[in-house]
């Protein structure tokens, strides 16, 4: 039963609950009209203390497609936090008005803190470099639709694996399914953190390897998950400038890949995927964006008890 629950990180959902949400999302993709009044009378608050385009608009579109309403903010400068109001008090106030809250905050652990003071479900829409569980649901709906299921894949993650919360979350979710192998492709400075390897992958018995060149491993992959090098996560701009163009997926690299490999990306993209790749049928990142709205529709429906 998901009604009234918080979603702070992927492990808050069991494997069966992930399957349930993804199945509902697929029903919504096929027949959206049947769900257009599911959340009528419900209100979603979008509290975005950090800039976002896709995630915020996806949440808002999801609630509107379900027949509900939306309120909130996209800029923390417009809130009472500029007057010194604590996050706990903001959540106490907002949760007294609405039925569910989607919150993004640059501080790791902010969503968990919010859940302790909220009178309604909190959905973590990203907390620093920690977790982004609804992007994970987005990714998993895409994988299920395009690859037929969640098990038995070789998944390559390329780019910023140190600060990439989407990478950490999807790894955490996919290692719970049998037969998946992980390939982590990055510069040494942006490698997957040891705590993910030792606390997530190794206890699950999941196979993984690391590489520094995409060309060396792309031919083994069923799924390639590209990420941008995030300027906002660096303390030293010179390090960002030195590393930002480390990995660019282009037509030449795509020639080395399997014909049925899919390319995913949480977006926004900067220049890590050349525009020439967009026309390749294996490029699935814009389909992935659309699936994200349906993943959030399914999640909102479940947490509010509407379905």
179's CB contacts (< 8 A; 6+ apart) are 151, 152, 153
C-alpha 292/C-alpha 302 separation (Å) is: 15
* 188 part of the active site: no
Catalytic residue among 46, 55, 136, 154: 55
* 258 part of the active site: no
Task: For residue 98, give the DSSP letter.
Answer: -
- Residue recorded with tokens 């719970």: 176
* 166 part of the active site: no
Catalytic residue among 6, 132, 162, 302: 132
What would the two tokens of residue 271 be? 């220049």
Q: What angle do CA 206, 211, 212 make, to 5 degrees?
A: 150
- Tell me if residue 100 falls in helix, strand or coil: strand
Catalytic residue among 56, 65, 104, 144: 104
C-alpha 139/C-alpha 164 separation (Å) is: 14
What residue spans of 86-132 are helical by DSSP H?
Answer: 87-94, 110-115
39's CB contacts (< 8 A; 6+ apart) are 63, 66, 67, 68, 300, 301, 304, 306
* 132 part of the active site: yes
Catalytic residue among 5, 54, 181, 191: 54
30's CB contacts (< 8 A; 6+ apart) are none
* 54 part of the active site: yes
What would the two tokens of residue 3 be? 């009604």
Q: 224 forms bridges with which residues in the sheet? A: 156, 263
Task: For residue 226, give the DSSP letter.
Answer: E
C-alpha 22/C-alpha 298 separation (Å) is: 8
Task: Give Dmax over CA atoms of the chain in angstroms.
Answer: 55
Tell me which residues are annotated as active site. 54-55, 83, 104, 132
């Amino acid at each position: 039963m998901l009604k009234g629950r918080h979603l702070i990180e992927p492990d808050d959902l069991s494997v069966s609950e992930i399957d349930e949400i993804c199945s509902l999302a697929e029903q919504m993709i096929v027949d959206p009209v049947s769900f257009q009044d599911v959340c009528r009378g419900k209100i979603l608050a979008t509290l975005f203390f950090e800039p976002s385009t896709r995630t915020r608009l996806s949440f808002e579109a999801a609630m509107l497609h379900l027949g509900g309403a939306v309120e909130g903010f996209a800029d923390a400068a417009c809130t009472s936090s500029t007057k010194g109001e604590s996050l706990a008090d903001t959540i106490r106030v907002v949760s007294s008005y609405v039925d569910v809250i989607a919150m993004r905050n640059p501080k790791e652990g902010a969503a968990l803190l919010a859940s302790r003071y909220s009178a309604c479900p909190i959905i973590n829409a990203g907390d620093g470099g920690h977790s982004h569980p609804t992007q994970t649901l987005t990714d998993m709906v895409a994988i299920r639709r395009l690859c037929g299921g969640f098990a038995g894949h070789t998944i390559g993650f390329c780019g910023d694996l140190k600060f990439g919360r989407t990478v950490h979350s999807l790894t955490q979710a996919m290692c719970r399914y049998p037969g998946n192998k992980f390939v982590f492709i990055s510069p040494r400075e942006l490698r997957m953190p040891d705590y993910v390897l030792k606390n997530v992958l190794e206890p699950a018995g999941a196979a993984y390897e690391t590489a520094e060149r995409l060309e060396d491993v792309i031919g083994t992959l069923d799924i390639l998950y590209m990420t941008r090098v995030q300027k906002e996560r660096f303390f030293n701009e010179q390090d960002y400038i030195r590393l930002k163009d480390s990995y660019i997926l282009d037509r030449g690299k795509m020639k080395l890949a399997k014909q049925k490999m899919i390319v995913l990306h949480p977006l926004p993209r900067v220049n890590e995927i050349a525009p020439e790749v967009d026309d390749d049928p294996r490029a699935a990142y814009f389909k992935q964006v659309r699936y994200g709205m349906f993943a959030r529709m399914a999640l909102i429906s479940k947490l509010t008890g509407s379905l």
